[in-house]
Amino acid sequence: MVEIPNDRGVFSLDIHVLPEDIDGQNHVNNVVYLRWIQEVAYAHWNSLGSEALKNKYRWVVLRHEIDYHSPAFSGDKIVASTWIDVPEGPRQKRYVSIQRSGDLKTLASACTTWCLLDAKSGRPQRVSLEITSVFGLKN
């Protein structure tokens, strides 16, 4: 389980569990957690990145590692929190903690690896200070 850090910028997104998020076992389907992980990542980038940066670069996922800890149910209010780690070349690890808002019980946690791409060429680009400074990190 990932712990939400105190030493870096954490971005949070409020989510409301919808009836269509529920599977045949009457809880949130695992694929929905994956969608939330991507939604909070994109919301984080879109909240901080300038239009110039968002036009210059794109992010793609290389890997998702998700641990499911407890189920969520229809009507639950959820908070997804995310933060990034120090980059490694074009790779950037991002952590996500998904908790139920009412009791802050951790429902799922994830470590995802993203790759920064040049928007025009589609080629991987080293994550530079231009990017990490937006997130409050130093290379």
What does each of the 139 residues of the chain score in pLDDT, given as a tens digit? Answer: 677 766 678 999 999 999 999 999 999 999 999 999 999 999 999 999 999 999 999 999 999 999 999 999 999 999 999 999 999 999 999 999 999 999 999 999 999 999 999 999 999 999 999 999 888 876 5
Quote the CA–CA distance of 27 and 127 in Å, as a whole number: 38
Contact 70, 98 (CB under 8 A): no
CATH superfamily of 11-132: Hotdog Thioesterase (3.10.129.10)
49-58 per-residue burial string, b: 16 or more CB within 10 A, e: under 16 = beeeeeebbb
